[in-house]
Every structure is written in structure tokens, then in C-alpha cells.
Amino acid sequence: MSFFKLLLAFAPWLSFLIIARDSLFRLKLGLIVALVLSVIMGVARLHRGVILWAGLLFFTSATIAVVLLNDVWTAKYMGILANATLAVSSWMTIALKKPFSLDYAREHTDPSLWDNPLFIRTNVIITSAWALVFTVNAVLTWGKIEHFFLPEWGYEVVTHAFLIGAAAFTTWYPRYVRNRRNSEEMELSTYS
């Protein structure tokens, strides 16, 4: 998956991450923008699969809770809830043997390879990396709220580093698998 496609897939979540900071007004604005983006991207088919549905469910319920009902608890724990939603959704797709990254990987993969065990395994590994990052980030966000271990800025740095690492892994790993498979095929043909 290209880095641009990855950014596009997570655009509602990224917009929320960027906007919903430091004030209740910005949190409400971030929720509304992310919800509108999720709907537009779903209708325009720029966004799909479990990440779309998790986003629609999360941003709809969070917008109702925070914007309409002024639920302080939801506002306080929004970061944990957002990361937990992504983590649970990601782990669920792995458990159901339909890792969410398949929805995006199929866009640029020959349909004859969609059922290939290596293609599926690659996507399980990529989705597992994201699920792990979302899970760790949920725990880090909880630590930030409860003021454990690190200063507040430390949580931000580590959380963002994990997200950047997952994005880099997502763009690197399929090329690595493809190159390794090609070199193994060349070695086999040399010995044949």
C-alpha cells in the first residue's frame, strides 16, 4: 500500500487526531469533521471495510455522546476509546480471517493472488502490526490520563512514533515479501 493510500484510508482518524486537542470545542469539532469525512469517504468509496464501519460507529456514537449530550466521561477517555475501537476492530478482522488490510491490498494486487496463502499471511502480519500499535496506544493514552510512567509529551512522542512505525512497516513489508519470494523463485529456477 502506498503511503498516500494509507493516509487516505485513515483520513477521518488522522483529522480527529490533529483537530481534537486541548479544548472541548476542538474535541467536538474534531468529532464532527471526522464523522463527516467518514460518511463522504464511504459514499465516494474512498474508504471501505472494517476501518470505515469502525469509524462510522465510533464517530457517530462519540459525536452523540460529546456534542449532543455533553458526556464528560466520554470526552475524558476519548483517546482510549478511539484507540480501543481501532484495536478491537483490527483484532476482530484477524480472528475472522479477514484482516482489514486485505481491503486495501487488493486494490493493487492481481486478483489471481487474492487467495494465495502468502498474500493473506502478509496481510495478517500487517493488520497484526496495526492492531498491536492501536492496543499499545490505548494503554499509553490511559497512562497519559492517569499520569503514569512518562511526562505528557513523552506519551505523545511514543504514540506518534508507533503510528509512523506502523505506516512505514505497511509500505515496506509487502515489498520485502515480494522481493524475498522473487529471489527464492530465482534460486529454484537456477537449480532446476
Mean pLDDT for 98-123 is 89
Please state the domain count of the chain.
1
Q: Answer yes or no: are the C-beta atoms of 160 and 18 closer than 8 Å.
A: no
pLDDT tens string 51-101: 889 999 999 999 999 999 999 999 999 999 999 999 999 999 999 999 999
Mean pLDDT for 179-188 is 75
- Given a cut of 60, is residue 192 above it in pLDDT? no
Structural domain including 40 reads: 3-191
Nearest to 91 by CA among 120, 124, 68, 67: 124
The residues near 76 (Cβ < 8 Å, ≥ 6 apart) are: 145
